[in-house]
Amino acid sequence: MSGLLKIEIQESAAELKALMEQQQKASQRRKVQVLWWLKSGQSQTVNQLAAMGGQHRTTVSRWLSLYRNGGLEALMNIPPRSGRPRLMSDEVLADLKRELADPEGFASYGEVQQWLAAVHGQKIAYRTVHQWVRYRLKSKLKVARPVSSHQKAGAVEAFKQTFRDCSKQP
């Protein structure tokens, strides 16, 4: 019959079911599930497998080709991700976290930039430093606001006292 798969699955349905339940990653689980559906006779064509698993038929065909050529090991292999390496190593990030936790800390992202250049010899763009500190490390550079030279002495304390008294009233 046309469209039927010609693939020999070495593992038993019980082994595949157990392996499927052991998988931590959903992508790995789906791959084993396709083999299990074939072995248990729930599906016989790539189109049926793709519809049942919610994958494209080309993806399912690629998975089956991997299994045919290299077995279960080739199918379950996760290739390493490529890409540009991080600008800051784990040690530099740990040092930066420690410095950010210090109460004196940094007054600006420019200071962080200078610190990275002086201590670790890394010249990193301002924008990158800002993104790492603010969004990835979830840290804010807190700097006290300047006090006006025209402000009367004791005005802040008087305001705080008045505010406390007002908040206590029902």
Domain segments of the chain as ranges: 13-76, 90-136
Instruction: Extract the residue ranges of the chain whose pLDDT is less than 50.
Output: 1
CA torsion angle for 86, 90, 95, 98 (degrees, to 10)?
110
Q: What is the pLDDT of residues 48-70, one digit of tens each?
A: 999 999 999 999 999 999 999 98
pLDDT at residue 1, rounded to an integer:
44
pLDDT at residue 167, rounded to an integer:
67
CA dist 20 and 28 (Å) reads 8
Burial of 56 (0-12, 13-18, 19+ CB in 10 A): exposed
pTM of the complete model = 0.52
Q: Are 35 and 20 in contact (CB under 8 A)?
A: no
pLDDT at residue 2, rounded to an integer:
52
Find where tokens 């299994």 sit: 67
Closest CA to 61 of 69, 73, 50: 50
CA dist 50 and 45 (Å) reads 9
